[in-house]
């Protein structure tokens, strides 16, 4: 997930590929039955990669309205980063 956030740009096809790859990782972790995996953020990243532009903009706007805890801040930062990687203007 940390490596995903290092990506500079993803095209629509790249987003589709990323969503498929993250889905594969989720399936592998689930099949292995590793405690604590798949991590919920892995599924969230896959969901963000699959979202349409308007849906992602709405998600980012909603996350700004919620209270700020360390976890919420980290998730919001990841959502903003993925929007930026996808070339989606959220301001």
* CA dist., res. 18 & res. 50, Å (int): 9
* CA dist., res. 79 & res. 73, Å (int): 10
**For residue range 11-66, what is the model confidence (pLDDT) as tens digits?**
999 999 999 999 999 999 889 987 888 888 888 889 999 999 999 888 887 776 66
54-81: string of b/e by CB count within 10 Å (b at 16+)? eebbebbeebeeeeeeeeeeebbebbbe
The pLDDT value recorded for residue 7 is 93
User: Is the pTM value of this prediction over 0.85?
Assistant: no
Helices 40-50 and 12-32: angle between axes, nearest 10 degrees: 150
């Amino acid at each position: 997930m940390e490596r995903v956030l290092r990506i500079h740009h993803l095209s629509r096809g790249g987003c589709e590929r990323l969503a498929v790859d993250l889905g594969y990782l989720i399936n592998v972790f689930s099949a292995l039955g590793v405690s604590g995996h798949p991590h919920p953020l892995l599924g969230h990243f896959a969901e963000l990669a699959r979202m349409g532009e308007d849906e992602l903009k709405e998600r980012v706007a909603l996350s700004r309205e919620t209270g700020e805890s360390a976890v919420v801040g980290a998730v919001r930062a990841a959502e903003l980063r993925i929007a930026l990687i996808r070339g989606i203007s959220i301001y």
